[in-house]
Structure formats: structure tokens, C-alpha cells
Amino acid sequence: MDTDILSSDSSSSFLRCEPWPDNFPVPEFTYNVELQLQRGNADFQNNGTLLSPSPKLKSDILESLAPQIITFKVYPSSAEFDDVAKALVKKHPCLKEQGSVSGFYGRKISLKYKMANYRTMLRNIGCTELTVNSLKRKQGDSRTSPNQVKKARRAEVNYCPDYPSGQSQDSLEEERLALLSEVKKSNNHQVVKAKMEMTFAYRRHEVIEDRPFIAEFKRRWPALFSEQETDAIETRRACVLKALMVYVNEDPDHLIQEYIDVEENQKAMDETVLGIYAITVEGAEPTDCLADVGIIIEGVNVLDELGNIANAVIILLGLMYSLNLSYPTNLKYTFEVLQKLVMELDANKLSTKVQVLKNKLFEGTP
């Protein structure tokens, strides 16, 4: 992913940096709400009496929980609503529901309705992250690529943030033009990084709303297509990644193509929609002495000299976020494992195949 989306110094107005927590942090409520809950908890501890909150008290509690949820996720899953309701009842046991098996089912349903209303309110006041999901596009627009829009509910952070305070589309376009000059200079990574952070929201709007072709987007944002602008995790061997693909019944050749002679295979590379190429040295083992490793998207060689296949896979995952690309259907389980098991994004909702793999991995964990 872009390094700027995780930077604490980013100039964007609101960026999410934390995944959904294991234990949801119930916020401190207003003084009058806390006072009523403290008395309710005391009564519950002394004589087991449950609190039946008034409509006003219930509304005040939900009004505080909704913004807290938004700091982690705009579209929580059912299991995540469970986490919030369970944490609320645990912190304030007087709110437990007597007629519910879980003790918080009604609280969960109220949270769902509150979050829907809260999203509507944010959308109406111009929250870009929400308005972008309601956009209607003209069919057959030749200026955009045919990639379908993915909504923010798919575990991405910072899906489509608002422009930084004091910035506009025109001012950020000026920064982009300046960036084109800076990226050509040697030993200029820090300046490029700062300008990439400044223009992050502008770039995301372009990706999400305009859906440009990769070739055009690379021309406008060349600094994005460098290894420094993707967030790599610890390098894993290519054989492990290929074994993962085989385990989930997907063909590694759908992602990784190994060539010896580029010229003889140029046509195949030009026709590649999305994949990784590895140029091997003649006579060497496929994963040894790689002359070049790179990434192709829409027939465009967007990155090269990545060193090894595993590194390229991780960088490709970051590019797929940056360019808002969907996972290939013939590799959906491979990318689901990388996203949900390795990166732990949206990890509570797994396909059956990936859940089985997770169970097997934990069988050997003490």
C-alpha cells in the first residue's frame, strides 16, 4: 500500500491506521450518561436488577458508539457489531438483556440501525468515503477503465478520504505537476515521499471516481510505481507462495509467468491482464539467478527489478489497493489468504476453504 496511508504525519484530515480491535474500546460517555450507568451497575451488582434505559439514554449511548465504530470501519460486519454490543454489556452489565440468549442481541440491532442512519448523515454532509459508494456512472465512458468499483466495506483503510485541510483539487494538481519534476531527480526520495503524502487523497479520488487505465495512471503518477511506494512485509520464499496456490486449488501460472527470452514472449506479456513475470537465466533453476522480476497490469510493465517473486507478490497486493483493482477470480483464495490471514484485514469473515487452512495452521500453534 502507499506508505503515506500509514504515516502519522499525513496531512489528510482523517486516515484510519488501526485494524478492527480484538476487544472493542467502549468510549467514555457524557457525564449524565455515565452517572446513570454507574447507578445501574451498582444496582445490578447489589440485587441483580437490570437497567431499562429510557429512549433518551439509549439514544445518547448509540450517539457515542457510532463515531467510535467509524474510527475503525465504516461498514462493520455482523460479527463486528457483536463485538461492540458484547463489549458494551461487559463494561456496563446493567445493560444486559434478560430476554436475549446472548444478552446483547437487541443492542446489536439498535447499533446496526444507528450506523445506517449515521452513514446517511455523513453522506448528506459530503463525506467522500460514503458519497463515492452511491455514485452512478455513465455506461461506455471511454475515459475510464472497465474495472468495477470496490466498496469500502472490503477491509480497505482510507478508501477515499477528503482532501487535506486548506487544499483543493487545483492546489493538489499543482503538487502533482511538481511531483513529476521531483521524481526525475536523483537521491530525492524524501521530497517525493512528502509530495506523495500530500497528494494521497487526490490520487485516491482519481482512482475511485475516474477509474483510469493503468498506462494513463502511470504517466500521471510515476512515483507510485516504485518499490519504495509500496509497503512490503517480510519476504517469503516463492516456493511457499506457489505451494499456497496449489493447496487452495489455484494454478500458480495464473499469477507468475517465468520466461527465458523476453522477445519471444513479448506478445504474451503484452496480453497479460494482471500478473508477475520472472526472467530466468538460461540453465539455472527457475527461482535462482533471476535476471528480472516485475509486475504487469493491463499489458503495462508497471514495475521491474523487484528482486524476487515473493517481494513482487506483496508489492502487487499493495498496487491492487492503490489502483482499486479486484482480485482475479482464478486467484481469489490466494489473495484472500494474503489479505485475511497474513495481513489480518477483515479476518473474521473467511471462505470455507480459507477457514480450513487457518484451522490447520493453528493446530500446530501452542
Question: Residue-wise pLDDT tens for the chain (366 aa)?
Answer: 343 333 333 333 456 767 788 899 999 999 999 999 999 999 999 999 999 999 999 999 999 999 999 988 888 888 899 999 999 999 999 999 987 888 999 999 999 999 999 999 988 888 877 877 665 554 445 444 445 545 555 566 667 888 888 889 999 999 999 999 999 888 888 899 889 989 998 998 898 888 888 899 999 999 988 766 564 443 346 778 888 888 889 998 899 888 877 777 888 888 888 999 988 766 555 445 678 899 999 989 999 888 888 889 989 988 988 888 888 889 999 999 998 888 888 887 888 998 988 888 877 554
- 200 with 107, same domain? no
- 337 with 292, same domain? yes
State how many domains the chain has.
3
Angle in degrees, 0-180, between the axes of helices 78-91 and 55-70, rounded to the nearest 10: 120
- 257 with 319, same domain? yes
- 298 with 196, same domain? no
What CA–CA distances, in Å, run from 348 to 40, 80, 155, 175, 301?
33, 8, 11, 39, 35
Report the Cα 269 to chain-centroid distance in Å. Answer: 28
Residue at a domain's end among 103, 125, 147? 125
Q: Are 176 and 202 in contact (CB under 8 A)?
A: yes
Q: Are 108 and 89 in contact (CB under 8 A)?
A: no
DSSP string, 279-317: EEPTTS-TTSSEEEEEEEETTEEEE---SSHHHHHHHHH
11 in a domain, yes or no?
A: no
Burial class (CB in 10 A: 0-12, 13-18, 19+), 366: exposed
Residue 259 CB coordination number (10 Å): 17
Tell me the three cell numbers of residue 143: 475515459
